[in-house]
Amino acid sequence: MNALGNNWVRVGTLDDIPVRGSRKLTVGETTIALFRTSADQVFALEDACPHKKGPLSEGIVHDGCVTCPLHNWVISLESGQAQGADEGATKSFPVKLSDQDILIDLTGLSA
Ligand code: FES
C-alpha cells in the first residue's frame, strides 16, 4: 500500500493478453478477467457476469464492452455495468499500464 492508498499490483505484461481477448487472474477466492481491446487498452472485471455469474473472460470483446457467453448480456469493460435494458454490475478494478507492464489496483477486493 502506498501513500495514495492504492494497492497497485503488477500482474503481467500487455503481451500476456491476446488482442480483443482476455486472461484470468486468481486473487484469493476471486477470479479477475483482464481484457485487452483492439486499441490496447486493458480493463479488469471480476470474472462473473451480473446476470448468472457467467465467465466474462470467455466472452467477446467489442466497442469497450464484453458480451457474456451464456446469455449475451453486454457489460461495460470500464464500469462493469450491464448495458441496455439489463441491470446489475460486475466489480471493476482500476488498471494502468507502465510501458508494457499491467498494474491493477486491488483495493476494491477487500472493500
Ligand atoms: S450469465 Fe451472463 S448473460 Fe447470463
Which pLDDT score is estimated for 66? 98
Q: What is the DSSP letter of 32?
A: E
- Whether residue 11 has its Cβ less than 6 Å from ligand 1: no
DSSP letters, 37-99, are -TT--EEEEESS-TTT---GGGSEEETTEEE-TTT--EEETTT-BBPTT---B--EE-EEEET
CA atoms within a 13 Å half-sphere pointing along the CA-CB vector of 55: 8
Give the DSSP H/E element, type plus range, for residue 10.
Answer: strand 8-13
Q: Does residue 85 surpass a pLDDT of 50?
A: yes
Residue 66 cell numbers, joined? 464484453
Mean pLDDT, rounded, for 96-101: 95
Residues 28-57, mean pLDDT to the nearest whole number: 97
Ligand 1 neighbour 74 (Cβ under 6 A):
no
- How much is the average pLDDT of 4-26? 92
Instruction: Take residue 108 and report the three cell numbers written for it.
Output: 476494491
* 27 has pLDDT over 70: yes
Question: 57 alpha carbon to ligand 1 midpoint, in Å?
Answer: 12
User: What's the confidence (pLDDT) of residue 5?
Assistant: 61
